[in-house]
Chain A
């Protein structure tokens, strides 16, 4: 292989920035007051449960007939006594333990069964998946509470066995979560790489798959703990099971019977039960935020792009310029709240009917510049300075409503991924007609005939058939033709194309480039092409602007930049292009002596 041009190493070694963002889960939870409060409540309650033998004043079923319905505050009976003369305080403490055991058994069984079956059902082939699927669907059809009551003779009224069965009934929920996550992870390339490396199935499941599903399982466990306690109490309230076991349910039932005689008897167990289940559910929510990250703030619809300082005077457009961008600065907020500038003062000009190529590597800010012109920057982005003037109008600071007459009509857009820019649930034709009618005041029929003509113009052989197709029925190249047809339908003055051929095969790319060139000449449009491919630039562009790290380092006519690059970076980029005359000439390498590598 001939010596390739030596290049400045653009792969900067990773900065310490990444290390700072690696926050452990427990630390995130510590910052969340909801998590701290609910965990504290649960710890205090269950610690009291553990300490029951020490702090309880009476046994759970120790009754004293002289204390029947004793009021709160009686000596030795802080919360009073119930209808059988049993101490309510002691019974509450014992009930905490009943609830804890119920939650551990139910959740434990649900997790063990659900996770194991989910991993197996998700990872292995069709037959295994179909049979586990069938089994768990069957379990889901059982009416849970009813089944637990009917099975009372089998369980002998022992709530622990009841909770084990309830755990199995809860398992399908966990199974579904795990199976879906595993199905997603299974096709990740790193799982394939592990298989190629000879890692065994059990290890892959444990190491690569289980780590991904861990978070959602912990969240689900918190919710399930709450629901097992509630179900156990519900059953006890109905009087199902042994009456000797103290539990919130039986205490509430007893308090209910005495509601008119001693209203507070009903209050204590209900409060405690409510506190425990509510804490578990709220803790589950906090866990979800910590594991999955809280949702970003909903954006204000219609406000347009965020602008920090709109007092800038609009740029003085050069004579003949259609679009003038002056000193554009775009920034994104960092987690610490500071603004991180990704575009640092870009100046661009496009004349009427001119094709400008904006070239740069990933992260150079070329797409951000194009998006700002269209007014479609992401919600977090802030334009901190600069001016974008289109036909004498300042675009920065315009609301969506003010931008709408321009977008699609005067300024059109072709995306990189044609498929994700077509709505899969509508026919191709109706999407084009809708777009056209939004831009021009014409009837549906007229729009349809125009769209058909355009599709034909854009090289689609059977326009009527494509018009009636759904996006998944057409190929990627065809989809890009459809989008180009949609973009030029309103005869825009400026077409912005963001890597229009990157996702396409090279033979299709050639056809799309031909189409773009023909349409550009025909409609005399100005085109801004954002790309990293110098071949595309050489094919289409009149002028080139080279971007690097948010700045334009060089611009000029295509011939100048290709044949006489001025900036070091442009030279490096052009030098990195693999030319067509160099072939690999060295012979196949000899295998080194055994164990020769490194």
Chain B
């Protein structure tokens, strides 16, 4: 069942300077995310992948196209109506340092969305303990401030905050890019576990094809505001059809000197061929 249905999404930002023409960063992107599924959205900087996520979250307004969530048009919603969606759509941002308010304790940060949804302080407290447990943090974290935690732990807090309202979709905007390798795998395992337990769907945005390959059921490749390829993760990341996806795949260095040497020569041969 399709949970999120993006059709022909266009987003333009106002140009710099007086009466400058707006700059379009998404030129009509269509995407679907099913219930309980992870859609990996991969692209390089400036491809517009983050903008898609922000449009779904209602943080930027689209200039064209539609976004349907459970069959309901959500792209133009404002104020109270938009806030009503916050039980269903949540977010985990890339930077675990600026995504938590430095002056609020972890407990307050986690309780805020719950209280906003109408939970009593006592219920919220109990739920916060459950959430901390779910993401593998000790319950005494409630009284602490974000700066007392490492990057990986902060990202766990951000995941717990997103889980609070029991959403059906979480937009994950590069959630593991700022983390160390070992922490990265732990956080990804956590995300997969949570998905299996709860059936939440992820729109998983990343620049890293290896991360996308591990966590996604389906993959969409974005290049300069256009979708160039969509399909099951296995197909897109091992038998790419589009030349840009091939380039992307070939450019990622492998952690094996021999294999990397082979790939390098292959890539150089491919570029030499392209030049001819």
- Any A CB within 8 A of the CB of B86: yes
What is the chain B residue whose CB lies nearest that of A574?
Answer: B255
B29 to nearest A CB, angstroms?
19
State the CA gap A194–B100 with chains docked (Å): 10
Given known contacts A189-B93, A598-B130, A506 and B255 CB-to-CB distance under 8 angstroms: no
State the CA gap A577–B38 with chains docked (Å): 21
Given known contacts A18-B145, A506-B209, A199 and B185 CB-to-CB distance under 8 angstroms: no
Instruction: Mark out the residues of chain A between 162 and 214 whose CB falls within 8 Å of any chain B CB in the assembled complex.
Output: 188-190, 192-200, 203, 207-208, 211-212
- Any A CB within 8 A of the CB of B17: no
Number of B interface residues at 8 Å Cβ cutoff, please give it: 101
Instruction: Mark out the residues of chain A between 556 and 598 whose CB falls within 8 Å of any chain B CB in the assembled complex.
Output: 558-559, 562, 572-574, 576-578, 580, 582-584, 586-592, 595-598
- Any B CB within 8 A of the CB of A11: yes
Q: Are A578 and B211 in contact (CB under 8 A)?
A: yes
State the CA gap A538–B259 with chains docked (Å): 9
Most B CB within 10 A of own CB, among A9, A198, A535, A558: A198
- Any B CB within 8 A of the CB of A301: no
- Any A CB within 8 A of the CB of B27: no
B196: which A residues are within 8 A, CB to CB?
A: 586, 589
Q: Are B134 and A598 in contact (CB under 8 A)?
A: yes
Q: Are A592 and B253 in contact (CB under 8 A)?
A: no
Q: Are B234 and A11 in contact (CB under 8 A)?
A: no
Q: Which of A7, A13, A196 contacts B86 (CB 8 A)?
A: A196
B58: which A residues are within 8 A, CB to CB?
A: 195-196
Given known contacts A14-B150, A193-B161, A211-B103, A538 and B255 CB-to-CB distance under 8 angstroms: yes
- Any A CB within 8 A of the CB of B121: no
Q: Are A14 and B148 in contact (CB under 8 A)?
A: yes
- Any B CB within 8 A of the CB of A362: yes
Given known contacts A194-B112, A589-B199, A592-B198, A506 and B90 CB-to-CB distance under 8 angstroms: no
What is the chain B residue whose CB lies nearest that of A505?
Answer: B44
B113: which A residues are within 8 A, CB to CB?
A: 194, 197-199
What is the chain A residue whose CB lies nearest that of B3?
Answer: A591
Instruction: Mark out the residues of chain B between 187 and 241 whose CB falls within 8 Å of any chain A CB in the assembled complex.
Output: 188-189, 192, 195-201, 207-211, 213-217, 233-234, 237-238
Q: Which of A19, A361, A534 contacts B182 (CB 8 A)?
A: A361
B185: which A residues are within 8 A, CB to CB?
A: 4-5, 7, 576, 578
Contact with A along B126-145 (1 / 0, CB 8 A): 01001101100010010011
B189: which A residues are within 8 A, CB to CB?
A: 4
Number of A interface residues at 8 Å Cβ cutoff, please give it: 74
B214: which A residues are within 8 A, CB to CB?
A: 1, 578, 582-584
State the CA gap A503–B183 with chains docked (Å): 19
Given known contacts A199-B113, A203-B116, A588 and B35 CB-to-CB distance under 8 angstroms: yes
- Any A CB within 8 A of the CB of B21: no
Say which one of A318-326, A425-433, A507-515 lies at the interface with B: A507-515
Given known contacts A1-B214, A510-B267, A190 and B99 CB-to-CB distance under 8 angstroms: yes
State the CA gap A35–B189 with chains docked (Å): 52
Q: Which of B98, B181, B200 contacts A573 (CB 8 A)?
A: B181
- Any A CB within 8 A of the CB of B107: no
- Any B CB within 8 A of the CB of A539: yes
- Any B CB within 8 A of the CB of A533: yes
- Any B CB within 8 A of the CB of A10: yes
What is the chain B residue whose CB lies nearest that of A507?
Answer: B251
A590: which B residues are within 8 A, CB to CB?
A: 36, 199
Contact with A along B97-108 (1 / 0, CB 8 A): 011110110000
B164: which A residues are within 8 A, CB to CB?
A: 197
State the CA gap A502–B60 with chains docked (Å): 28
Q: Are A535 and B237 in contact (CB under 8 A)?
A: no
B23: which A residues are within 8 A, CB to CB?
A: none
What is the chain B residue whose CB lies nearest that of A14?
Answer: B148
A582: which B residues are within 8 A, CB to CB?
A: 213-214
Q: Are A18 and B152 in contact (CB under 8 A)?
A: no
B153: which A residues are within 8 A, CB to CB?
A: 11, 13-14
State the CA gap A195–B90 with chains docked (Å): 10
A188 to nearest B CB, angstroms?
5
State the CA gap A19–B38 with chains docked (Å): 38
Q: Are A584 and B182 in contact (CB under 8 A)?
A: no
A580: which B residues are within 8 A, CB to CB?
A: 210, 213, 237-238, 254
B234 to nearest A CB, angstroms?
5
Q: Are A199 and B116 in contact (CB under 8 A)?
A: yes
Q: Which of B35, B59, B116, B195 contacts A192 (CB 8 A)?
A: B59
Q: Which of A572, A583, A588 contacts B34 (CB 8 A)?
A: A588
What are 8 residue pairs bridging A and B, where the CB atoms are less than 8 Å apart in the complex? Answer: A1-B214, A18-B148, A578-B210, A580-B210, A580-B237, A586-B196, A588-B201, A592-B198
> Other CB < 8 Å A-B pairs besides A14-B144, A584-B215, A597-B200, 4 of them?
A1-B214, A208-B104, A588-B201, A598-B131
| 7 pairs of A and B residues whose beta carbons are closest in the complex | A535-B253, A198-B86, A18-B148, A197-B113, A591-B199, A534-B255, A589-B36
